[in-house]
Each structure stands twice: as C-alpha cells, then as structure tokens.
Structure 1
Amino acid sequence: MNNPRLLTALASASFLLLGACGGSSGSASEAVTQIIKAQSSVSSSSESADTVSSSSASAASSETSQELPAPAIQSVAEVAVGEQVVLQSVVSDALADVIINFEWSLVQTPPDSSAQLQYANTAQPSFTPDVPGVYQVALTIGVGELSAQATAASVTAFADNIDITEATLARRGGNCTSYQGTYYSQVTDIQRSLPFSGSLQVSVEDDTCTFSLNQIPNHDFNDASAKFASDVSEVVAQYTLPVNPQFADEVTPLQVGVKNVIFLNGVTADLLAAACYGVGDEPLGEEKIGCGPDQESNPWRYDPMSPLNYFGTDAHNAHPQPDGSYHYHGNPRALFELECSSASGPSPLIGFAADGFPVFGPCIEDTGSIRAVTSSYRLKNDGGERLAVAGYETPEAGTGAVASGNYDGQFIGDYEYIEGAGDLDECNGMTYEGQYGYYVTDAYPWILGCFRAAVDDSFMPEGQALENLLHGHDIIGGEEHIHTH
C-alpha cells in the first residue's frame, strides 16, 4: 500500500451470555465491568486535532444489561483521491476469547464513484476513494445474537494537484462537493507564443463550495482567428456556490456585469454584451458601450454569439476583458466531446451556473442513442420582419452594422421562448436522470437564458471589476469597434 491512511474503529462490546456457555454469573459480571471500563478509557483518550470521531452510545448502565454498547469509529478527516484508506477495528482485551462479527459498509459515496470496500467482514477492511467527495463508513459488530451499530464516520477525498491540460471530462455528478481539489494546466497564448499556467481550486465548507481561479483555461488560446484588443493575463478571482441550490419562485434574468458560469477549467462565462442598438453616443448600428443593467429589457442588445456580430473571439468563443481576464461568450468548445454522434454517452458536467445548478455539455441518451439537446427558443415571426417595440428604436437594415430588418439573430430580442419547442426550458435547462442542470446548445441562448435559483453575491462585481465588464474591444459586422461584453 502506498501511503496508507489509518482509519481506526474502536469497537467495544459486552458479552452477557457467558453463563449460558458454562461460565458463572460472577465471571459474566466481571467481564462486563472490564469491557465498560475499557470502553470508557478508549473514549476519553481517542480524540486528537487531526481526527474526527463519531460519538459512542453510552455504556450499559447495569451489569445485567443484555445490550452491546455501540462501537465508535475514529477516522482521518481527509485523504487524497487514490490514497488507500485502511479501517482497523480495535477491541477490548476482555473480548479476546469472544468471536466478534464485523460488518463494514460504505453507506455514502460521491456520484460517479465506484469505490468498494475490500474484506468488509474482517477486522481490517480498506477502500480507495476514486473521485473527490465525501465517503461515509458504517460499522456493525455482532456477538452471538446481539449487535450494535456505530454512527457513520465521514472521510473527505480531494483531488490533489491534477493536471487538466486539454482534458476531456467524464463525470456527471451534479454536486459541487464532488469536485473538491486543486487543478492546473499548462497552455499557450498562440499568437504571442507565451506560456501560461491555469489554476483552479475547489474547496468545501459547510453548505458552500468556493472556486478560486486565475481565468487561464486548460487549452491553448488566441489562435489565428482571434483579434484580441487586450492581452490575456492571470486575474485571480473567487466565487461561492451553494451545495444544494433551491428553485426560486421566479426565474432571475441574466444581467450585464454578473458572471454567469464557472467552468471546471477555471474560466467564467459572460453571455451578454453591453451594447444595444440606439443606446450610447455612437452612430446607430455602431454602438460600442452604454447598454448596462438599466437596459435589462432592451430587445436590441447585440448577441455576442451571432455570426453577424464578430466579437474578435478565438476558436473557443472567448476573449479577454480589458484587465486581461479570459472569458467565454458561449460554448467553450472544450472539456467535452463536441460531436454527439461520436460520444459514447451523455456529456459530462463542465461547470456550475452562478445559482449553483450544474452546466452540462450538449449530449444526452435518448431511446438508446446519443443526441444533442435542443433549445426551445426560435426566431420570432419565422425570421420575418422585425416589429417595433415601444420605448426602443427598431434596428434598420444597412444602418451601421445592422445586417437586415428581419429577426435574424443579430439581437437577443430576435428570439422568443416557445414552451415545448425543444428539450429545454426558458433558462436552457431541464431535469435529466434526476438532476436539473443547464445545457450547452448550438443555438440561442447557447448556455443559459436565465437562472432558476438565487444568484450568489460573489458573482456580482462592483467598482473597478464592473468597469472591466462594461468596457471591451470587439468587432461588429467585420469592422473594429470598442465594444462592451
């Protein structure tokens, strides 16, 4: 075993049927007294700073009690994924001549784990955590017809410095605690021929997960197709998510300035542009800035993912903010198999939305085959002529970079949600295999259209961070602009 961690179970039991086996009542009482004293001694000395101990049931209050005192499990609190955990039972010397039956079990494992106990009916079983998360171990002891059960003890496994460079993910467990650990990548800014190191740490405390990252992806970036206005640089950030997000009574719309998604490669997504037709001081159709949170209902906000709006992004639909933070506007084209026809199963979990619900790639299994999920948004009026919206100036074909006067997808208001038109709801999510989550799609809204749960405050930048989100350098309609995203 490589670096085994000892998980010791201290099991004490009273054996009160000695008389039935030929022993005297005096010897039974003596054995009970010895056992109770041994258990009391063990309980008072087993606590230490680096262990977590389950509580023992109180010892029998009477020497004539015919109940086994509950055993206790003492365990290490944390181990690295792949590190063997050895369980060792220690019993009182008073039970040296008594046959004790041991029944160990893993009563809880993280999603996607296939860990199993080895030699579960012996005094020294073991298991090896195969994915990050919480593993709960239970122990039941038996003597003759009597038995007693310990309170389950928890062991948390974490990923220790895992290289995710160009990694394709595989797991679908929807709880953020399953991804606890540290991850890194070694990638290149292609046009600048500069190496970068990506960093992501996922930590868990109580009912929250904290993601600490530096906005460097796990793949090379800034390929020949990109036209970045700013240079990519490491930008350290930290976000907090609930372990168990709860559906809100009403959905929360996307808002400029709010980070939308954290991907498991340490990069975030910003799905909205902060430029709208007719808003700001620039000529019509050449808007570059000014469409902030106060324009939440403006239908003529440019869609960064529309092929009619070139935003200077690279092959991963990403580019940097003025402060250098690399971020996606849609499908990251990383972390999962892009073609569902080539996928061996449903797409993995690739990140978490700002409300805590998971984000998956596009593929699901449906009646025995793998296919891409479909959005329920469609172009209004089947792509016909745009209609005026009260309070907003309607884009006109040929004005600046406006491609046409039809609902062609250049603006997010060109789309409408039609319930049941596709697989997904208005937020681009659905419940699949018992887990609600958002899905990457090849059509609007691309990743998510709203939030089904409350958004954590850590995703809402203020001050200079908000300024960074509202100023950018992008290209619309093939012409260079200072543009917001």
Structure 2
Amino acid sequence: MKLKDGFTSFILLIFLFGNFVWAQERRQGGRPPVRKHTITERGDLNLIPADDKLPYNQEANFKKSKTERLVESNAIPEHKVGIFPSGRNPNKITEQEFKFSLPLDPKPAKQPIPLHNDSGRGPPNTPFGIALNGVLFDPGTAEFYMGDRRADWNYEALSGSVLLGLDMNHGHVQPNGSYHYHGLPTGFLKKLGVKAKRHSPLIGYAMDGYPIYALYGYKDPENPKAGIKKLSSSFQLKKG
C-alpha cells in the first residue's frame, strides 16, 4: 500500500456532517430488482469465513493538494476475504477505478447531510468513507421494508434481518464487483495492529474529509495523558 500523509489526532465516531466533494470512476453493473421485505426482527448474521486470497494487487494512493485530499484506489483489500460469489451474494470481486476528492481541512456543516435519498436506487448514493487500503466504508443497503425506498425504513446489514452474505470482515460485494465494508473491517484492523491499550491508528477518511478511527481512543479526546477507553457510537434509536 502506498501512503504518504500526516494527520491531526482526534476522535470522531459518526461522520454525517461536513462539506464533501467526491467523484468516482467505476465499472457499472446492473442492479437486481428491489425485494419486498416484511421482516421486523433481528436474525442470525452468519458471517462467511474470510479464507480467500484475491488474485489482484491492492492499490491505494493518498495525495494532497492545497485544499484537497486526492484518493485513487482499485478497491482491493490486502487481507483475505470470503469466497464470492456465495449463496447470499452472487457477485464476484473485481478491480475498480475509484477517484475521490476530499476536503483537506474539513469543517462541520450547518445541517446534517444524508447519505441516502429516495430519488434513486441505492446504495450507494454516497459512500460513507474510504479506508486507507482503498476499500469503501459503505454501510447502507438497498433493502427496504416492502421495497419502498420512501418508507424511511432501511434494513441494517449487520442486523441479520436480511442476509446479504457478509464475510468475517463485515464486507461483501456490489453488483459492479466492488468489495466494501458494512461494519468493522476486522482483517484490516488486524493488519494495522489495533490493540485495546493504545489509541487507534488512522484507518481511513469520511467523505466529508474527517479522519476515521476505530474502537479505542483517549478518555478525554483533548488530553492524550487521560488514558485509553473503548469508544462507543453516538447512534440513537429513532423515536416512534
């Protein structure tokens, strides 16, 4: 992996704010018909063992201009993955040609920026972020209650309600061949040496430009001497 970068160490858990500009070039693949689900409970996730080594070289370049962080990637992870196609995911992993332009000095937006809208087929309307190995953080799914994108009920990939063939890295494959993460990138975190007793290394960037860390950070984010704690998400259940 090619990487040249410096960063300011601070913790952010959910990145739904910020101005972002992104562009990507990818091979287009057809999407399957929208499925109509009526499931209202969690299920067993049943992750696929990540034992398969891909026949591609991983490529990820991070560069900086005066105002932007420029990213080019083939979206191939350096760690092993599940075997795809699989019974729950019929797509084969292929190299991509991603190009992204992220703000180098991100600022909080005045209003939240949604990752999805009801005017188009997703995901991704907007990927959440990109890991340093060039693989997208793309947690949204194209699975909606009764197949209605406007119903404001999008199934969570990690809930097990709708089985999508995730592997042990919490990743799987888009119809266009793009491997991406829906949750913690287990194999990548292991490669980075993430440990409970020290601050998380940088693992990627959100599309609004903010850095992404995982699992462990300072008890006081403004004080590196405050000790280490396991981080918790600011996710909240929707009322109603």
- Asked if TM exceeds 0.5, the reply is yes
Q: Following TM superposition, by how much is the alpha carbon of 1:203 offset from its aligned partner in structure 2, in angstroms? A: 1.7
The alignment-based identity, stated in percent, is 27
CA–CA distance in structure 2, aligned partners of residues 349 and 341 of structure 1? 10
Match for residue 359 of structure 1? Answer: 212
Alpha-carbon distance change, 252 to 373 in structure 1, aligned in 2, over 3 angstroms: same
CA contact (8 A) 1:273 1:304 kept: yes
**1:233 partner amino acid:** T
Alpha-carbon distance change, 204 to 343 in structure 1, aligned in 2, over 3 angstroms: same
Match for residue 307 of structure 1? Answer: 160
The number of aligned residues is 185
Question: 1:50-449 alignment to 2 at 5 Å?
Answer: 132-133=4-5, 173=9, 190-191=51-52, 194-223=54-83, 227=87, 228-255=89-116, 256=122, 257-279=125-147, 291=149, 295=150, 298-336=151-189, 342-366=195-219, 369-378=227-236, 415-416=237-238
Q: What is the Cα-based RMSD across aligned positions, in Å? A: 3.2
CA–CA distance in structure 2, aligned partners of residues 214 and 357 of structure 1? 22
* Structure having greater relative contact order (Cα 8 Å, sep ≥ 6): 2
Where 1:319 maps in the other structure, the secondary structure is strand
Alpha-carbon distance change, 337 to 190 in structure 1, aligned in 2, over 3 angstroms: closer
Q: Following TM superposition, by how much is the alpha carbon of 1:132 offset from its aligned partner in structure 2, in angstroms? A: 3.9
Where 1:305 maps in the other structure, the secondary structure is helix
Bigger share in helix: 1
Unaligned runs of 5+ in 1: 1-80, 82-130, 135-170, 175-188, 281-290, 379-414, 418-485
Q: Following TM superposition, by how much is the alpha carbon of 1:172 offset from its aligned partner in structure 2, in angstroms? A: 6.4
CA–CA distance in structure 2, aligned partners of residues 253 and 221 of structure 1? 29
Structure whose alpha-carbon radius of gyration is higher: 1
Where 2:172 maps in the other structure, the secondary structure is strand
CA–CA distance in structure 2, aligned partners of residues 237 and 372 of structure 1? 32
Give the ranges of 4+ consecutive aligned residues of structure 1 lying more than 6 Å apart after TM superposition. none
CA contact (8 A) 1:172 1:348 kept: no
Question: 1:18-29 alignment to 2 at 5 Å?
Answer: none
Deviations along 1:250-306, one digit per CA (max 9) or x if unpaired, are 1112214211111001100211112211235xxxxxxxxxx3xxx3xx332111111
Alpha-carbon distance change, 202 to 376 in structure 1, aligned in 2, over 3 angstroms: closer
CA contact (8 A) 1:276 1:302 kept: yes
Q: TM-score, normalised by structure 2?
A: 0.66
